[in-house]
Structure 1
Amino acid sequence: MLELKGICKKLGTMDMQDVSLSITPGQYFVLLGPSGVGKTVLIEIIAGLIKPDSGLVLWDDIDITRLAPEKRGFTVVYQDYALLPHMTVAANISFGLRGRATKDDISSRTAELAEMLDITDILKRKPTGLSGGEMQRVALARALAPRPRLLLLDEPFSALDTTSRLKMRRYLKKISQEFSTAVLHVTHDPEEAMFLGDRLGVMLDAKIRQIASPEELFRRPTDAVVAEFLGMQNLLPAHIVAKHVCMVNGQRFELGEDSAEISHVWIKPEEIVLSPEPFRSSARNQLACKVESWEPHGALLAVRIICGELELFSIITHASFTDLNIHKGQDLYATFKSSALHSF
């Protein structure tokens, strides 16, 4: 198990303070945060490429903070692949096994990883001329070849096109399920983190602000700063006025949970139902609103509505958009259940 205790490191304007986390055997841990907050520095501290100013790096309760990188049994995959251009794909994959395994073992391991990552047909080629997705799969195979105790992934998809990124997510999901290797993956993409991570950490301003399961992180962010980074729409300041009741910009909302003290509520856009008339249902919250605008949201549409002093977004299908004949300035009703409001 990897454990970081109170890691501090100052590099230029980046001042990492008191970073602590743990990654259990076989766990896929995703560290999520914008550029410049120290995610890559933390990866390199764990790998032994940078020494922390203070704090400890432990593996199975053994202090490895000052241990040489090559003695840690960790491998790193960077976004720029770092393949050796004069070697074939097969030679790149097996590079870390030289002098550590027999020729037959090297051949077997290379073939196993090539089949898993669908690169068997390019084993004899050199990196020049390979697509970004192919080069990233080769880099991943090379990192996995020596059976690392910990796989460190530094924004591995950032140089890939959308199609290649989606494919690489599936490959990593497959690898995490078939191998027992612990993974630390850093990214700025919340969707990527949700898809891959067993556990997520949010790093902002060179500090870890929250560690939680994907479901818990998006359901209960620790504060508005984390929620805003996660791109959560319909994040609203609120205060409790009675049991299961809060006020938001002059609007009274019923909550599905009992919270004595809150600062914000989040209403999932997917759970706001739009209708031309009010209707009877089990939903406890219904507001008159006007359509302000709309925009694509993946395969759906995000409709921006104004309810008094509130601005909300409702995610609807194209079919619903057509059925409602939505247009700017249209009067509608927004309805949502008390369970659609999440407070923190």
Structure 2
Amino acid sequence: MIRMEHLDIVLPGFCVRDVNLDVADGEFFALIGPTGSGKSLVLESVAGLVPQARGRITVAGRDVTALPPERRGVGIVYQDNALFPHLSVMENITYGLRYHRLAGDEAARRVEWLVDVLGLSRIRERGVCNLSGGEQQRVSLARALAVNPPVLLLDEPLSALDPNFREEIRALLKTLHAELGTTFFMVTHDFAEALFLAERVGVLRDGALEQVGPVRDVFCRPRTPFVAEFVGMKNVFEAHFAPGEAVFHGLRCPLPHPVADGCGHVALRPEDLVLSRDGGIPDHYVRYEGNVRTVCDLGFVYEVAVRCGSADFRALMDRRSLMESDIRSGDAVSVGFSAGAVHAF
């Protein structure tokens, strides 16, 4: 449905370099990466709002590289909604219909369905300036989808919302995608959003794609240290691979799968680590001895940093587990994990 070939975008002090990407018809695809990585530039290039220095973009098999935004057949939703403040909810939703060739009955049915499924019936005649953030985002979604675009572009659609509204809109996006079968292309810096919504993801770093694949594959099998850390594998170590094991920071670790001898990295998710003050680590686990360096309150969980040899491990513990184990800074502890949790690359 969307194809980008050798896409370059050049701005003063920054460029997107040689992006090649295919998004399938009806797919929910997320382009993820840290703030400033170029995600929104790629999305706006697809929309025709940012010119590319090189490359080709096709939408639904049609070359749109040189077409203006209104002729590309895409809808777009921004994080700040970009609604027309002088128009009512319904006037915003139906605004784009004057520029698209939809039969009157078909357009009316589609608008009414969107108003119903997005819960906008009771506020349809209100001005948009007095709506909550979640209501404004629902109006923005209805406006973008009213013209029946083959592609919906979503630019950080949840980042400006408070947690309650974020959950609400996230669920609505899931429902809309399932009901409509429209191709969704979202950019976000939040991997949790992509994990919940997307089927595949691309990871962008400093304007270049680092990895593209099914979301669970990228989550569990990152290909680079940057991707590993971005998706939450906070324990990433340079390692030397020998038959059946990895050696890092003087520690030896069995590998769950054969890896070619040489140098690379091993990574572990912090939630896969078990800490114990009394040696209570399962016998079949890999086990190291160390000392707690810090215990950091992250809100719902605690991050515990443990030094084993010259390696610094980070583990996550919920409040109850931390209180029951009574682990504190300076304590001698055992660090354990299943060999199957080790990712080597």
Q: CA deviation at 1:9?
A: 1.9
Q: How does 1:1-344 map to 2 (within 5 A)?
A: 1-98=1-98, 100-101=101-102, 104-241=105-242, 243-260=243-260, 261-279=262-280, 281=282, 283-297=284-298, 299-344=300-345
One-letter amino acid of the structure 1 residue matched with residue 248 of structure 2:
V
5+ residue gaps in structure 1? none
Q: Contact 1:283/1:335 (CA < 8 Å) preserved in 2?
A: no
One-letter amino acid of the structure 2 residue matched with residue 184 of structure 1:
F
| Structure 1 pair 278–207 and aligned structure 2 pair: CA distance change class (3 A) | same
Q: CA deviation at 1:116?
A: 1.3
Q: Contact 1:92/1:138 (CA < 8 Å) preserved in 2?
A: yes
Q: Contact 1:80/1:159 (CA < 8 Å) preserved in 2?
A: yes
> Secondary structure of the equivalent of 1:235?
strand
One-letter amino acid of the structure 2 residue matched with residue 14 of structure 1:
F
> Could you tell me how far apart the structure 1 residues matched to 2:61 and 2:140 are?
30
Kindly, what percent of the aligned residue pairs are identical? 36
Spell out, residue by residue over 1:32-67, the C-alpha distance to the aligned partner (whole angstroms, 9 max, x if none): 122333222222221123332221112344322112
One-letter amino acid of the structure 1 residue matched with residue 181 of structure 2:
S
Q: CA deviation at 1:126?
A: 0.6
Spell out, residue by residue over 1:74-97, the C-alpha distance to the aligned partner (whole angstroms, 9 max, x if none): 111112211112221011111112
Q: Contact 1:28/1:198 (CA < 8 Å) preserved in 2?
A: yes
Q: Which runs of 4+ in 1 moved over 6 A?
A: none
Q: CA deviation at 1:3?
A: 0.7
> Could you tell me how far apart the structure 2 residues matched to 1:303 and 1:73 are?
49
Q: Tell me how many residue pairs correspond in the alignment.
A: 343
> Could you tell me how far apart the structure 2 residues matched to 1:97 and 1:146 are?
6
> Could you tell me how far apart the structure 2 residues matched to 1:296 and 1:141 are?
40
> Could you tell me how far apart the structure 2 residues matched to 1:256 and 1:162 are?
38
> Could you tell me how far apart the structure 1 residues matched to 2:98 and 2:61 are?
30
Q: CA deviation at 1:166?
A: 2.1
> Could you tell me how far apart the structure 1 residues matched to 2:286 and 2:302 are?
22
Q: Contact 1:262/1:343 (CA < 8 Å) preserved in 2?
A: no
> Could you tell me how far apart the structure 2 residues matched to 1:20 and 1:298 are?
39
Q: CA deviation at 1:300?
A: 2.7
One-letter amino acid of the structure 2 residue matched with residue 55 of structure 1:
G
Q: CA RMSD in A?
A: 1.9
Q: CA deviation at 1:104?
A: 4.5
Which stretch of the first structure deviates more once superposed, 94-103 or 308-317?
94-103
> Could you tell me how far apart the structure 2 residues matched to 1:106 and 1:298 are?
47
Q: CA deviation at 1:105?
A: 4.0
5+ residue gaps in structure 2? none
> Could you tell me how far apart the structure 2 residues matched to 1:292 and 1:311 are?
9
Which stretch of the first structure deviates more once superposed, 31-40 or 252-261?
31-40
> Could you tell me how far apart the structure 2 residues matched to 1:244 and 1:297 are?
36
One-letter amino acid of the structure 1 residue matched with residue 310 of structure 2:
E
Q: Contact 2:78/2:156 (CA < 8 Å) preserved in 1?
A: yes
> Could you tell me how far apart the structure 2 residues matched to 1:245 and 1:284 are?
14
| Structure 1 pair 313–33 and aligned structure 2 pair: CA distance change class (3 A) | same
Spell out, residue by residue over 1:137-187, the C-alpha distance to the aligned partner (whole angstroms, 9 max, x if none): 100110011111100111122222222222211111111111110011011
Which stretch of the first structure deviates more once superposed, 298-307 or 127-136?
298-307
Q: Contact 1:282/1:337 (CA < 8 Å) preserved in 2?
A: no
One-letter amino acid of the structure 2 residue matched with residue 232 of structure 1:
M
> Secondary structure of the equivalent of 1:98?
helix
> Could you tell me how far apart the structure 2 residues matched to 1:284 and 1:320 are?
19
| Structure 1 pair 178–229 and aligned structure 2 pair: CA distance change class (3 A) | same
| Structure 1 pair 83–58 and aligned structure 2 pair: CA distance change class (3 A) | same
TM-score normalised per structure 2: 0.93
